[in-house]
Structure 1
Amino acid sequence: MASFEVKGGKKLQGTIVPQGAKNEALQIISAVLLTPESVTIENIPDILDVNLLIELLQDMGVKADRVDRQTCIFKADNVDVDYLSSEDFRKKGGRLRGSVMIAGPMLARFKKAFIPKPGGDKIGRRRLDTHIIGFEKLGARFDYHDELNYFQLSTSRLKGTFMLLDEPSVTGTANIVMAAVMAEGTTTIYNAACEPYVQQLCRMLNRMGAKISGIGSNMLVIEGVDALGGTTHRMLPDMIEVGSFIGLAAMTQSEILIKGAGVEHLGVIPEKFRQLGIRMDIKGDDIFIPSQEKYEISTFLDGSVLTVYDHPWPGFTPDLISIVLVVATQAVGSVLIHQKMFESRLFFVDKLIDMGAQIILCDPHRATVIGLGRKNQLRGITMSSPDIRAGQALLIAALSAEGKSVIQNIEQIDRGYQYIDQRLNSLGAEITRIP
């Protein structure tokens, strides 16, 4: 288990470029299974989860020509469908929650799929119901093999239908869309997720020959086609990294320019950080965060305490709740953090309390943060990263803390952030990776 040794209290300065979007990558790369023709993907994040998915596709027989670490040409013209029922697939797929995304393309093109019981973050329950129910409505049958912990899906043909999703699941919507693009007839998905990454997937599929309308709304209409062709696709900058860098700059009183931030796709993210009192200057597609001695949390118009909560797009993404919570510890003022979607995502606050933060964990979903306004600087401790986003939040806390911190289990951070130690060290941080 690798660790980061972090010497905190240093002000950073310079320019940083966000990686390609992790959450988009898992959908886009899975979509290459829909065609035997070549698909070129650009701006791929070089992170553990994405590399595991590419390896999994290669094990299935997909050719993957890694032009460089950010560009790959895929060709799924000789897929070994039987590999998906193997023990090797169940083991590898079970390590990667994103492996569920290959089910939709496999059903569409090969009429069968297997979903291992997913692994991934320890942030709470993530249901597969939306995926499975959507596939069933399209005409697939599923069986759960309890002794082997995997779902088996099969169909003689997929047929378009109307469906109302019980939740606007991003991965569920993407998976059902990929299954429906080659179904017979028209599929209408109401209460669909409309995140930029789902929009990106739909636009890519349309370039491949799909017929999807309603992109960007919560109702997608998909006219099935017989086959899809190749294309080239470039992924968006990772909005979670952009938000992390904004929070990092404020916490460490640093001056940072985020180059190529994908501003038009950030939604309410800049405004949420402004509510914490963080100043930023947006010029074109770049975000400049000046060094701030202090930042003060705003209140609602009636003077009540600010509440920051996650919500499906265009609401605030749950993946930045951990970052906002950490950044609030050194603000002036108080804020209630409400993490609605995952019941275990706030449990990392005990480590922040050990560092000297004033946080009241109200219940598994809510925490009240009392900003110290830098009166009492956080102190370095030894801690462990429980999931990708909490790990990055703890790294930000450690960079702002007094003294040395050790963050264990950094494989969780590596799953979502590429070369994060090297990139932050280039800005003046002092992070040492310990094998």
Structure 2
Amino acid sequence: MRKIVINGGKPLSGQVAVSGAKNSVVALIPAIILADDIVTLDGVPAISDVDSLIEIMEIMGAKVKRDGETLEIDPRGVENKPMPYGKINSLRASYYFYGSLLGRFGEAVVGLPGGCDLGPRPIDLHLKAFEAMGAKVSYEGDNMRLSTGGKAVHGTQIFFDTVTVGATINTMIAAAKAEGRTIIENAAREPEIIDVATLLNNMGAHIRGAGTDIITIEGVKTLHGTRHQVIPDRIEAGSYIAMAAAVGEGIKVTNVLYEHLESFIAKLDEMGVRMTVEEDAIFVEKQEKLKAVSIKTAPYPGFATDLQQPLTPLLLKAEGRATITDTIYEKRVNHVPEMARMGANISTVGGRIVYEGPNDLTGAPVKATDLRAGAALVTAGLMAKGRTEITNIEFILRGYSNIIEKLKALGADIELIEE
């Protein structure tokens, strides 16, 4: 068993660099299957989700070279074969292989996706889009088969009943080499969607409107190799900014795109967090009195669901009583009992999180129930007096690149221990 041990209550200072976006790279790597030559990604984070994707790509026949944050993938040897269920089952983003394999081979046999347990996250909208593009869906044990009967998928008009990042990206990937034009209406607008569209366009795709609610894709016959810089991870950036405000005595968070964090920064301003926004960095001062604020998550450009948990420990320092409402994932409240175990005045009432502060946290044994809950517990452990032991840390390592090393460089007393 591995765990993270933190001796908290120590002020942090210095500089921390944000890595490439997890939610981009987990779609970029499967999308490379569509290319007819080598694709190089720069700014790839050192996270376990990337390790799993590389292993899957190699099993399928791709040649992969990794040098630090640079990843070179030659997909020309990829074969259409069922993918290893164990790896697929641990990885939510495995569903992006549906789109890339359909686009290249007209067929995909993939295990049902796994990932964090955040409540219902159905893939019905993905399947609705693929069926509209000519694919038939069947099930074989733990696998799902999508097939067009040997034909290329065809362009069509797709309206999503709800805004969905995963289905927007997956449809865009599949449509890149479709016959004809595909129009996605009520598309999600997240920066990661723009990042995937940029990679595909750099490979020769014709995609317009990414970042708006209508995306148009003109299918092409071939896609070539290219080089692409992964955008900075806005969720990691927000996590470190919140952490800096909670325990920092002056921390600069670098490789930040402010325009990706506007709704998050607006809430910090409302709390009274003192910070200076620079061109590609945010300097967070030592904080004094903070005001409690209510949070309600929403699709981009609203407040990101992935940031409500990392922000919670900072909210616990604020004066007053307020609520957190997650409209995206109903089970994104599992960090609450863990925070309460550390002495926080926090609870769930009717699906909402209610908190009152300020709180003095005490170190305790806690468990990460999902990726962002794990990040929240790390910040809480840094804030708390005494020793905090976090188990289930595989969730944290799925999404935060070199988190132990980054925090140690800021002065944190933190260790990853194997037992």
Q: TM-score range by the shorter chain?
A: over 0.9
User: In structure 1, how many angstroms separate the alpha carbons of the residues matched to 2:341 and 2:223?
Assistant: 54
The match for 2:309 is 322
Q: Name the counterpart of 1:250.
A: 245
Give yes or no for the alignment of 1:367 onto 2:361.
no
Compared with structure 1, are the counterparts of its residues 371 and 253 closer, same or farther at alpha carbon in structure 2 (3 Å cutoff)?
farther
CA deviations on 1:214-268 (whole Å, 9 max, x unpaired) are 1221000111111111111101111111111111112114310011212233232
Q: Is this contact kept in 2: 1:253–1:293, CA < 8 A?
A: no
Match of 2:375 in 1: 392
Task: Please name the residue that 1:195 is paired with.
Answer: 190
Counterpart secondary structure, 2:262: coil
Look up the match of 2:50: 50
- Of 319, 328, 336, which residue of structure 1 is paired with 2:323? 336
Whether 2:328 is the aligned partner of 1:350: answer: no
SS at match of 1:188: strand
2:389 to 388, 402, 406: 406
Q: Are the aligned partners of 1:12 and 1:254 in contact in 2 as well (CA < 8 Å)? A: yes
Cα distance between partner residues in 1 of 2:318 and 2:189: 32
1:150 has 2:149 as partner: no
Shift of 1:403: 0.8
Q: Report how far residue 107 of structure 1 moved.
A: 0.3
Greater CA drift, 320-329 or 51-60:
320-329
- 1:377 matched to 2:360: yes
Separation in 2, partners of 1:80, 1:171: 24
**Pairwise CA distance, 1:115:** 2.7
Determine the structure 2 residue equivalent to 1:224: 219
Q: Which residue of structure 1 aligns with residue 281 of structure 2?
A: 286
Partner of 2:158: 163
Matched-pair contact (CA < 8 Å) for 1:140–1:158: yes
User: What number of residue pairs does the alignment pair up?
Assistant: 416
2:111: which partner in 1?
A: 116
Amino acid at match of 1:153: L
- Do structure 1's residue 23 and structure 2's residue 23 form an aligned pair? yes
The percentage of aligned residue pairs carrying the same residue is: 38
Please list every run of 5 or more consecutive structure 2 residues that lacks an aligned counterpart in the other structure: none
CA offsets per residue over residues 342-375 of structure 1, 9 Å max, x none? 1211022111112111113113x31111121xxx
Q: Counterpart in 2 of 1:300?
A: none
Q: What is aligned with 1:69?
A: 68
CA distance in 2, matches of 1:109, 1:117: 20
| Unmatched 5+ stretches in structure 1 | 298-305
Residue identity matched to 2:314: V
Q: What is the CA distance between 1:83 and its match in structure 2?
A: 4.2
1:167 Cα shift? 1.8
User: What CA distance in whole angstroms lies between the structure 1 residues aligned with 2:278 and 2:374?
Assistant: 30
What per-residue deviation string (whole Å, max 9, x for no partner) do you get for residues 191-222 of structure 1? 11111110111122112111111122100011
CA contact (8 A) 1:328 1:334 kept: no
Deviation at 1:276, TM superposition (A): 2.4
Partner residue in 1 for 2:14: 14
Q: TM-score, normalised by structure 1?
A: 0.93
Asked if the contact 2:232/2:256 (under 8 Å) is kept, the reply is: yes
Letter in 2 for 1:215: A
Of stretches 5-14 and 255-264 in structure 1, the one that deviates more from structure 2 is: 255-264
Instruction: State TM-score, norm by structure 2.
Output: 0.97
Match of 2:128 in 1: 133
Supply the RMSD in Å over aligned alpha carbons: 1.2
Distance in 1 between the 2:20 and 2:356 partners?
Answer: 34
* Contact preservation (8 Å) 2:335, 2:376: no
Per-residue CA deviation, residues 26-69 of structure 1 (Å, 9 max, x unaligned), is 11111110012110100000100111111110110011111x12
Q: Distance in 2 between matches of 1:185 and 1:419?
A: 43
Deviation digits for residues 98-124 of structure 1, max 9, x if unmatched? 111111011011110123122111221
Kindly indicate whether residue 181 of structure 2 is the aligned counterpart of residue 186 of structure 1.
yes
> How far is the alpha carbon of 1:173 from its aligned partner?
0.6
- Please tell me whether the aligned partners of residues 82 and 109 of structure 2 are also in contact (alpha carbons under 8 angstroms): no
Task: Choose from 286, 290, 295 the match for 1:308.
Answer: 295
Task: Tell me how far apart the structure 2 counterparts of residues 72 and 180 of structure 1 sit (CA, whole Å).
Answer: 25
Paired letter, 1:119: G
Asked whether the equivalents of residues 19 and 255 of structure 2 are also in contact (C-alpha less than 8 Å), the reply is: no
Partners of 1:421 and 1:207 in 2: how far apart?
34
Q: Secondary structure at the match of 1:244?
A: helix
Answer whether contact 2:207 2:215 (CA < 8 A) is retained.
yes
Q: Say if 2:100 is the partner of 1:100.
A: no
Asked if 2 retains the 8 angstrom alpha-carbon contact of 1:164 and 1:190, the reply is yes
Does the 8 A contact of 1:328 with 1:335 survive in 2? Answer: no
